[in-house]
Amino acid sequence: MKKIYLLLGVVLTSLALIACTSKPKLYVLNWGEYINEDLVEQFENEYGVKVVLSYADSSEAMEQKVKEGTTKFDIVIPSDYMIEKLWDEGYLQAIDLSKLSNFDHSAFVPGLNGIMSMMFQDNPEVTNAYTVSMPYFWGVFGLMYNRQLSGLEAYIEANQWGAVFEQEPANLFTRPLKVGMYDASRLTYSASLIYANDKGLVDDQTALNKFSTVYLQTSEQVLSQRSYTLWATDMLKKDVEAGNLDLAFVYVGDFFDTYLILTENAKTTEEATQLTSHIGIFVPDTTIAFYDGMVIPAASRNVDLAHTFINYFLDPEIAYENSGIVGYTTVLTETAEMIKNATKGDVIRSVMASDYPYDPSTIQDFTAIPLIAFSNADTDSVAAMINTVKSK
């Protein structure tokens, strides 16, 4: 009798396995905590497919995975400069805009068009950047800080990037600052060069997008000015929130992500303000702008489904649900309006969007520069420089 049950079990399991494999699979390579997984499930049910999510914590890590080709990804969501690089090197295929019923050039927020128009400036073959990548989220970089430490807010406003890169004067605060640095070499390098330009260490507004041994040395010098409590990526926002860090260089979206998590169960805006009273975000006068876009690798084996997936996230309603979990700034005007006017009744999100620099196009008097791709050898040199800084 036991044997019959066993046999039945084996048959059922193998049937279940066959059922699994018969569904078309969509392989998606994404950043951590960067998609509303309920929507993924909804997509799976709606189209009868299986979405396999993989994660990477930098554009370089995504590049590595795409080039390795061990997994044939159908959708990857790298940042602007990496999209350009992967396209130029032939690792991507064009997006067929006619397959995207939700696509409309005018549907995107104004600030984003600025970044999109700067893409592929030295590649005249690409006349429409939207055929290479479909914007997913966008934003700028900023400094997330602990609002409970008195004097810190004023100090950051006065010193801008210097607050992160310089050792603060002794006895200014009750204790030494605990500062976190983003552990993605390209971002660290560029931010340090914005600071260097602010301080006159280099005289070049576009230094952040150039690689040279002189700038490499400048960057090393800047990064050696203080020691950092933590070099990390997704951990930074959590540690500022928990009070383990006072200040960290992060994506502004990391702040909103944290904000939304903290206010998840809040009923009123007062309650939300109170729950988030310990964290703040500051955008320096000159900063890095970015957008992350969905691209279809040349090796994709499920191109049509990839288009369906892209189209799905272009639906303003879906984008609204997605940005409610992710926190980063939406790329769609209609979704931005829904958030701003709280049309879905989410007053807390609308207050968040109006109180903080949620939509970069509405911030006054600041410069946001998108990054340009470096060659692998240059990126490697930058990474080696940062390892040298850490080993000092």
Partner 1 sequence: MNIKKLGRLVVPYLIWMCVLVGLPLIIMVVLTFLKSNALDLSTAEFSFDSWRLLFSDLTVRTALKNSVVNAGIATIICFIIGYPVAYIVANSNFSNKLIILVLTVIPMWSNSLLRNNAIANLLSERSIVNDVLNNIGLSFIWPIRGVFYDSGFSPAVVIGLVLTYLPFMILPIYTVLEKIDKSLLEASMDLGANKVKTFFRVTFPLSIKGVTTGIIMVFLPSFSGFAIPKILGSGNLVFIGTLIDSRFMNRNYNFGSLLSLVILLIIFGSMALIFKVDKEGETLI
Chain positions contacting partner 1, by CB under 8 A: 58, 60-61, 63-64, 67, 178, 181, 183, 185, 227-232, 235, 239, 242-244, 376-377, 379-380, 383-384, 387-388, 390-391
- And the tokens for 67? 């080039």
Pick the closer one to partner 1 by CB: 26 or 177: 177
**Min. distance of Cβ 197 from partner 1 in angstroms?**
25
At 339, phi and psi to the nearest 5? Answer: -70, -45
For every residue of 234-266, DSSP letters joined together read: THHHHHHHHTS-SEEEEEHHHHHHHHHHHTTT-
Pick the closer one to partner 1 by CB: 80 or 246: 246
If one counts every other C-beta atom within 10 angstroms of the C-beta of residue 265, the result is 8
- And the tokens for 200? 């006159």
Q: Can you tell me the distance from the alpha carbon of 192 to that of 189, in angstroms, rounded to the nearest whole number?
A: 5
**Min. distance of Cβ 330 from partner 1 in angstroms?**
30
**Min. distance of Cβ 387 from partner 1 in angstroms?**
5
Quote the DSSP letter at residue 297: E
**Min. distance of Cβ 185 from partner 1 in angstroms?**
8
**Min. distance of Cβ 318 from partner 1 in angstroms?**
30
Pick the closer one to partner 1 by CB: 36 or 379: 379
**Min. distance of Cβ 244 from partner 1 in angstroms?**
5
Pick the closer one to partner 1 by CB: 99 or 226: 226
**Min. distance of Cβ 181 from partner 1 in angstroms?**
8
Pick the closer one to partner 1 by CB: 105 or 390: 390
**Min. distance of Cβ 133 from partner 1 in angstroms?**
21
Pick the closer one to partner 1 by CB: 30 or 58: 58
Identify residue 249 by its one-letter amino acid code. Answer: F
Q: Is 116 helix (H, G, I), strand (E, B) or coil?
A: helix
Check: CB of residue 355 under 8 Å from CB of residue 269. Answer: no
Residue among 112, 162, 164 at smallest CA distance from 133: 112
Pick the closer one to partner 1 by CB: 178 or 237: 178
Q: Can you tell me the distance from the alpha carbon of 66 to that of 59, in angstroms, rounded to the nearest whole number?
A: 10
Residue among 256, 248, 242, 257 at smallest CA distance from 183: 248
Check: CB of residue 34 under 8 Å from CB of residue 82. Answer: no
Pick the closer one to partner 1 by CB: 228 or 312: 228
Q: Is 69 left (phi over 0), alpha (psi -120 to 50) or beta?
A: left
Q: Is 291 helix (H, G, I), strand (E, B) or coil?
A: strand
